[in-house]
Amino acid sequence: MTSQTDTPLLLLVDDQPANLDVMVDYLQDSGLDLAVSINGNEALQLAKKRKPSLILLDVMMPGMDGFEVCRRLKAHHGTRNIPIIFTSALDDTESKVKGFEAGAVDYVTKPLQREELLARIHTHLTLRQQQLELKQKNRDLLALNAELKEQMGKRKEAESALHQMGEQLSAVTRQEASKWGIDAFIGNGEATRAVLREIRNLQQVDKTPVLVLGESGTGKELVSRAIHFGSQRSDKPFIAVNCAAIPPDLADAELFGHVKGSFTGATHDRPGVFMQANGGTLFLDEIGDMPLAQQAKLLRVLENGELTPVGGTRPQKVDVRIVTATNIALQSKVQSQEFRQDLYYRLAGYIIQLPPLRLRREDIPLLVQHFLTMLGKQMGREKTEMTEEAMQVLLGYDFPGNIRELRNLIEYALISGRGEPITPAQLHFIHQSATGPLSSEPPPAVTTAIDDEQQLLDYTAEQGRINNAKAQEVLGVSHSRASYLLKKLLREGHLEKHGERRWAYYSLPG
């Protein structure tokens, strides 16, 4: 890619093409020019020739590792001032210290989180730009000692503020991912990518109200938090309210606040959730359960941006972004006059429909691995694996409880399995439609997998070769399902692989 005059150039260095694909996908809409390299020697030559504004450098590479590449860049007069951020799966303190000793300005552990990565990149690009501007001013105003001191003071303040902002963004990203499951959108399926694209688009606008629709457990509050924490309102409050849990007689006070003495027990002024969220985002979950009386009052606040606390006489201005969610069909409630049509149109400035897990089955293996790693680490069982039979049972299950149910299944299996590989017997399904863990018959999904494998082997014997696209056509399955079956046959020695990535195909051994 060609660098523009005022557009920062990032050099991405990683020996794994899949990792480069992920970073390019994360950064393609960031307004930055990108260059890529798959080894240390090539990275050194590119850096000397193109002088990138920032380098994202993998640690573990064959030949010359990232630490040595960094040391050589810092030793060369033309590249020593380029900021370097290490990206690595190594998260031990020794590796991080070694990275900073080599000259890096930051160290990000894999798997990479898009919002955290962008925050760190923009922080260091801003610092670099300020440093360059300061050097120019120092050259121009060398004789003006007083102004020079003032500029140095401003620089330190800016660096401190940027550093603090970067730390806060990183902490928020980690906290939100851990507490609210933002990383539950792990997956490469088109349905997941479509939702993420919608979230990123909504992060760029400030006031548009959003209505999030989806079954229980699909992550409606998660989406709302992702919209907030990636927006310009991220440094302001995010307040979540379950409308179904508010007693009707306290709804006005809960939403709009009250003044001292307005009712028995009102011993002091108390702001409602609107004022608590002022400047930020107010998430109203289960909006379909809000009583009609409160719907009318909510509509007035949304229309004029003013509210009056219970017992108050003076209206107060409020600036919040409204995100609402429900797992029921709001339009049917509108037709039955249980929900105001004018409020519905006010709330549905943009509608996101979250797909249930059964419609994004290709993401299940990645989600399983994520929960195995996260929950296993909490339980001290980091190396627990899922057997292929158990995985096939999960792939054949409809998950009425969606991602929340999958997480609970993995947690139960880790506890009951005591660190041993998870089998179908450890999968504790609540719903009767699931294959029971104590069933004496082989799970239907396993039987289907065996039949599919034999069909692939028969086709390969007849045609001499098969690739992923043909496997999808033969079985009528998704890309990820075909890839799983081909790799399984390869591991078991039933197939041989030729070529790599999109040019890969398989044949019978010999």
Provide DSSP, 405-443. HHHHHHHHHHHHHTTSPB-GGG----STTSPPTT-SSPP
Class of 444-507 in CATH: mainly alpha
Q: Which residue, chain included where needed, has tokens 């590796």?
A: 95
What are the residues whose beta carbons fall under 8 Å from the beta carbon of 406, sequence distance 6 or more? 357, 364, 367, 368, 371, 394, 399
Pair of tokens at residue 124: 């260091």
Q: How many Å apart are CA 65 and CA 267, to the nearest integer? A: 65
Q: What angle do CA 366, 383, 437 make, to 5 degrees?
A: 70
- Domain residue ranges in the chain: 9-178, 194-355, 359-426, 444-507
CATH placement of domain 359-426: 1.10.8.60
Tens of pLDDT along the chain (510 residues) come to 444 447 889 999 999 988 898 889 888 888 888 999 999 999 999 999 999 999 999 999 998 999 999 999 999 998 988 999 999 888 899 999 999 999 999 999 988 888 888 888 988 888 888 888 877 776 666 656 666 566 666 666 655 654 554 454 444 444 544 444 344 467 778 888 888 889 889 988 988 999 999 988 888 888 898 888 888 888 888 999 888 888 887 888 888 888 877 776 667 788 889 999 999 999 999 998 888 888 999 999 999 889 888 888 788 899 999 999 998 888 889 999 999 999 999 999 999 999 899 888 898 998 999 889 888 887 777 788 999 999 999 998 888 888 888 988 998 888 888 778 999 888 888 764 444 333 334 444 444 456 778 889 989 988 889 998 888 888 887 776 778 788 888 888 889 998 877 678 899 987
Residue 479: which of 190, 185, 184 has the closest Cα?
190
pLDDT in tens, 189-226: 888 888 888 988 998 898 899 999 998 888 888 889 88
Residue 480: its pLDDT value, please?
Answer: 67
Decide the pairing of beta strands 316-317 and 306-307.
Answer: antiparallel
What letters, b where the CB count within 10 A reaches 16 and e where it falls short, cover 274-292? bbebbebbbbbbbbbbbee
Provide DSSP, 42-68. HHHHHHHHH--SEEEEES--SSS-HHH
Residue 185: which of 382, 357, 393, 408 has the closest Cα?
357
Q: Are 195 and 360 in contact (CB under 8 A)?
A: no
Chain centroid, CA 46 distance in Å: 31
Q: DSSP 3-state assignment of 495?
A: coil
Residue 484: which of 360, 357, 358, 362 has the closest Cα?
362
Q: DSSP 3-state assignment of 355?
A: coil
Q: How many Å apart are CA 39 and CA 36, to the nearest integer? A: 10
pLDDT in tens, 235-249: 888 999 888 888 887
Residue 266: its pLDDT value, please?
Answer: 66
pLDDT in tens, 262-313: 776 667 788 889 999 999 999 999 998 888 888 999 999 999 889 888 888 7
194-355 matches 9-178 in CATH topology: yes
Q: In sequence order, what E strands does 160-317 have?
A: 210-213, 238-242, 281-285, 306-307, 316-317
CATH placement of domain 9-178: 3.40.50.2300
Beta bridge partners of 242: 285
Query: What is the pTM assigned to this prediction?
Result: 0.50
pLDDT in tens, 77-122: 989 889 999 998 888 999 999 999 999 999 999 888 888 888 889 8
Pair of tokens at residue 347: 């709330």
- For residue 389, the tally of other CB atoms under 10 A from its CB is 18
CATH placement of domain 194-355: 3.40.50.300
Phi, psi angle pair for 186, to nearest 5°? -60, 135
Q: In sequence order, what E strands does 92-236 have?
A: 106-109, 210-213
Q: How large is the angle between the packed helices 114-140 and 145-180, nearest 10 degrees?
A: 180
Q: Which residue, chain included where needed, has tokens 């969220």?
A: 277
